[in-house]
Amino acid sequence: MIGNINKSNSPYSTIKYVGFKDGAKVLDTNMAGQTPAQLANEFEYFSNKNKRTQKPVFHLSINPHPNDRPLSTEEYIDIASDIRMELGFDDYKHQYLLALHTDALHKDAPEIRPHLHLIVNRVDFNGKCKKDYLDYINIQKACRKVELKYGLITQPHSWEISEKKGPPSREEETKFIQDAIKEAAADKPEMPDFISSLLSKNVGVQCRITRTGKLQGISYEYNNKVFKGRQLGSDYTHQGIQSKFGVVHKPTHKEQIELLISNKRAGNIQNVSSTSNSSDSESNSNGELAVNNLEITPTVQPALNLEQPLTPYPTTRKDNFTQNVNNKGFNSQTYEPHSYTDESNCADLEPLPTPKPPDQMVDNQQQQYAEVIAHTVRMFWEKQKPDRVLRGSTFDLELSDSTIKIKRKSGEEIAQIPLSEDQQPRGIGLNLEDLKIFHQLQQLLDSNRAKQEQQPKRSRDSGLEL
């Protein structure tokens, strides 16, 4: 038995598909409506009690094994009830609708493949949203319990399958990526060489690496379809490629990996080679990565007017560079350099100030970047009013101890923005491209605010995404 979860904010279209399409039969519900519109209105009455829940519709498809024994209607209803209970949905607090579909056929045989569709309102009658943490793991555990209880064929957990076929719509890409990984890992390479080989085969790679260089996750992309490692099988996760295929990852590989991936984002990489395991590779005295035969086609960036420099929103800090210079009485028009003819003239001169070390210069730059985006991040967070996590297509925002942590989709933390304006923000891995994105976001926020001021009765939903 396999359970597939989907979450959305469209109760009407989901209810119409689940309960009223050809080949569908409603088996059980605790709602009173008789039509898709009536049921959707009833559903939205309670989901609207929690405005922060962006996707209140929990849609689960339950697919028995092709060789399972036939199940009765009562057994289908009991199975769905057990699964709801295992997932933490209380039938006396959450709306639900269960339907049986008999319109699909088995892939390898012209026989009907009956399967269940279950819709549950994540927002209960009191307006409280059921957390979805680890739902994708909990549904598998629930299916294993149901299989044992009803004498059905037991299937392994997804993390126990070493190699998966993938759904029909992604089967070709799944097989291609799996073959590319096997080929790239054939010689048990180090991680940069492994990633370089995949990129040369047009397989995109994203790695989640901690600040200390520890590899915590990996995902792949081909034909504009993204696959987490576990979706390909346990052998293709960040742990599997090391234990099964012998790929070697070291904390010192962090910068090399990030460089390879960033170059891939910047354009189309045809041939990439790293220096991690090659005797004739080119590297400088600092051990920097040498990338040979790299061809990049720049991507077209969205139009953005940056003639005026990005500056932080007004803060209480007054240690502005210009102010510091003016306060010290520096005047470029009156300044005249001195010339000295012998060493005796230099006896009373003060020593030159010690230059700032590179690390301190980087920290100062990151501090400035963080101050630039701090107001935008706080404004966006207040506008969206999330619970603790706000996920976007480019960044994820997570609230921890009254501080908003900004992370890339790879998991890399790039900034920390305190909710209080009295506390200093902290930059970690920000760059100019990030500043451009937040600059565009600020423009959208300002535009959205102006529209709302003109039409105060419009919905509070901002419609913005980070």
d(CA 419, CA 405): 10
Q: Which tens digits make up the pLDDT trace of 267-318?
A: 544 444 444 444 344 334 333 333 333 333 344 444 444 444 554 544 444 4
Tell if the pTM clears 0.85, that is, is over it.
no
Least confident of 34-48, 201-215, 223-237, 332-346: 332-346
Distance CA 428, CA 439 (A): 18
In this predicted structure, what is the pLDDT of residue 461? 52
Kindly report, residue by residue over 131-175, the tens digit of the pLDDT.
Answer: 888 888 899 899 999 999 999 988 877 666 666 666 777 888 999
pLDDT digits (tens, 9 = 90+) for 64-84: 888 889 999 999 999 999 999
Q: How far apart, in whole angstroms, are the C-alpha atoms of residue 368 and residue 350?
A: 30
| Every domain range in the chain assigned CATH 3.30.930 | 2-155
Share the mean pLDDT of the chain: 79
Type of residue found at 350? E
Does 402 have pLDDT greater than 70? yes
pLDDT score at 267? 58
Alpha helices in 96-237 (DSSP H): 135-149, 171-184, 191-200, 229-232
Whether pLDDT at 6 is above 60: yes
Residue 264 tokens read as: 């891939």
pLDDT score at 355: 54
For 419, what's the count of Cα atoms within 13 Å in the CB-facing half-sphere? 11
Of 177, 171, 197, residue with least CA distance to 186: 197
Q: Are strands 403-408 and 395-400 parallel, antiparallel or unpaired?
A: antiparallel
DSSP state, residue 129: B
Residue with more model confidence, 304 or 207: 207
The winner for highest mean pLDDT among 87-96, 165-174, 322-331, 433-442 is 87-96
Euclidean distance between CA atoms 219 and 206, whole angstroms = 5
Query: Does residue 345 surpass a pLDDT of 50?
Result: no
Of 3.30.930, 2.30.30, 2.60.40, 3.40.50, which CATH number belongs to 2-155? 3.30.930
The pLDDT value recorded for residue 445 is: 85
Given the structure tokens 């305190």, which residue do they identify? 418
The sign of the dihedral angle between the CA atoms of 447, 451, 456, 461 is negative
